[in-house]
Structure 1
Amino acid sequence: MTVSPERSPEKSPETSAQSSSSPAEGTGTAAGRPAAPPGALAGDTDASARRLAYVTVGVPTLGFAGAVVFAFHYGISAVDIGLLVGMYLVTSLGVEGGFHRFFSHLSFAAKPGVTAFWGIAGSMAAQGPIVFWVATHRQHHAFTDRDGDPHSPRPIEDGRRFARARGFWHGHVGWLFTVRRQNWSKYVPDLMRNRLVMKINQYYFVWVLAGLALPALLGWALTGGSARGAAGGLLWGGLARIFLLDHVTWSVNSIGHTLGNRPYRTRDGSRNVAPLAPFSVGGSWHNNHHAKPALAHNRHTFWQIDIAGGVIRLLDVLGLVSHVRYPKRARSE
């Protein structure tokens, strides 16, 4: 049994959502913010999402600061670095390969065990449950850099100063504090029908806590049961890792629509940001992605680093995923 794409390459989930009720370009709120997307209650910010945003943003920030202070007092060990890199790699692949390319764009099909890995690894990144993450991303693609895009970094033209800076901040992280209450199922009917995905979504906070407990336990075990090893694992493999991956992911939303090159003339402001490619495991080839969002690979030229795409190709060779949508050039290589 595999979890298979339920759409053709010509019609994506985000395109389907857009076609039902797309806002006219050039219309917006008086404050210059994106207008309420279809299904949202105009002007009604989701209070619970706002409270969760303070935790999502605040706790990893404090944890990163704590990790730096901890390093000044106790140094950074090889175990700390190993847990940071290892947990970062697993969760970044969960976000980019799983939440993004698999669940959001259905770029390949996967067996249930692989589906569970993508869902749990992505959830450990603490960027939100699958349904919220995917619905927000599909909404972003349906209205990219137009009214209805939840995290466009376009300038906020409301007559006040620093319109560009405030728009950039909104696209980077500020949007998390202004999420509107809406019917998320509009964007993810396929996920709502998938019992495995919804079960993983239901236990989101369990996976987040597991993503903190696992490096702490490994740090404890790898240092002979020392409290210092457990603390280092929690701080570096847990909280600091979440902080760093958060800002890499958010940078794709902000920098990736502001600075960089545009090999494809898309109808949005998406850009390729080469320096972020290794850290985003290929997600920062953002103009490539917006030009051809259904593809499982963001690497469109031989020198572009796309770790997530390489992992998907390996899983394809091993028979763990199928129906992978490769770039035509990649098929001939």
Structure 2
Amino acid sequence: MVYLFFVTHWGLSVLMQSLFLHRYAAHRMYTTGPRTERALHLLTLLTQGSSYLEPRAYAVLHREHHAFADTEKDPHSPAHHRNPFRMMLETARRYAGYLTGRRQPEARFLGGYPEWPLVDHTFNQWPARIGFGALYTLFYWRFATRRWQYLALPIHYVMGPLHGAIVNWCGHRYGYRNFRTRDLSRNTLPVDVVCMGELFQNNHHARPANPDFAARRFELDPTWQVMKLLDRWKLIHLVHGTEGLHPPWSKASSLL
């Protein structure tokens, strides 16, 4: 039961971070109605739980990442940090600044992301995070059969930021490149299998408006498959014809 819970929590958390926070909030790779948007917002909240990330702050950080990729202004680049912990600590500081309003981004990074002030404010407070953490702990207390299984609990607590650390650290250090970009982005296989397509970083940085992060025949983007299914069910509408287009905060690239 504990193994199933861990795999389910990991998979759903990564999927919603990719589907809603990344491809919708940051990039607007699809459109949807207000009810579906709220439903996706709530699903992201429930699946991320104690590590829930506000769509606005996430979108701003991600747009900065594209604009300043692997430069000193990049909010999370392994090129300027000795280890992933230092990298994500700096990211957390900047995220907190945007969340509280103590830090203001450039105007070009603002707008186009979903906002739900009541939900976002409530679930970015420590009581809510601790509450979710307590639920995870109670589940393990009830179903864990070995003491060492409790070692997985901290991963549940920080699932969202942990996913970001894996993607940004591995995706700019390890793997191969399909495109010549001005950054260090790479495609990291087979780790990408557990990151729902997010570790096709080189493909994504080369074509930041393309909703399909796969670029070659042997590459498969799981989140893109989910998006196609939701589009078929008319829950979302995919923005087609975007390949090769670049938002004002992205960098140009070319095929290797």
Query: For this structure pair, what is the TM-score category when the shorter chain's length is used for normalisation?
Result: 0.7 to 0.9
Matches within 5 A, 1:304-315: 304-315=219-230
Matches within 5 A, 1:157-176: 166-169=81-84, 172-176=87-91
| Matched-pair contact (CA < 8 Å) for 2:17–2:160 | no
Matches within 5 A, 1:88-237: 88-123=10-45, 124-125=47-48, 126=51, 128-155=53-80, 166-169=81-84, 172-176=87-91, 178-179=93-94, 181-184=102-105, 186=107, 187-191=109-113, 197-205=116-124, 208=129, 211-212=132-133, 219=139, 228-229=142-143
Q: Aligned Cα RMSD in Å?
A: 3.3
Cα deviation per residue 1:225-253 (whole Å; 9 max; x = unaligned)? xx523999x96896433445543421211
Please report how far the alpha carbon of residue 168 of structure 1 lies from its aligned counterpart in structure 2 after TM superposition.
4.1
Q: Secondary structure at the match of 1:154?
A: helix
Aligned match of 2:247: none
The CA distance in 1 between the partners of 2:59 and 2:233, in whole Å, is 27
The CA distance in 2 between the partners of 1:326 and 1:237, in whole Å, is 42
Indicate how the Cα distance of structure 1 residues 205 and 281 shifts in structure 2: closer, same or farther if over 3 A, else same: same
Give the TM-score taking structure 2 as reference length.
0.75
Higher-Rg member (1/2): 1
Deviation >4 Å, runs of 4+: 206-217, 234-239, 242-245
Give ranges in structure 2 of 5+ residues lacking alignment.
Answer: 244-256
Aligned match of 2:184: 269
Indicate how the Cα distance of structure 1 residues 154 and 185 shifts in structure 2: closer, same or farther if over 3 A, else same: closer
Indicate how the Cα distance of structure 1 residues 113 and 212 shifts in structure 2: closer, same or farther if over 3 A, else same: farther
Please report how far the alpha carbon of residue 284 of structure 1 lies from its aligned counterpart in structure 2 after TM superposition.
0.2
| Matched-pair contact (CA < 8 Å) for 2:174–2:186 | yes
**Quick one: which of 292, 311, 318 aligns to 2:233?**
318
Question: What is the percentage of aligned positions where both structures have the same residue?
Answer: 23
Give ranges in structure 1 of 5+ residues lacking alignment.
Answer: 1-78, 156-165, 221-226, 329-333
Letter in 2 for 1:263: N
Indicate how the Cα distance of structure 1 residues 293 and 111 shifts in structure 2: closer, same or farther if over 3 A, else same: same
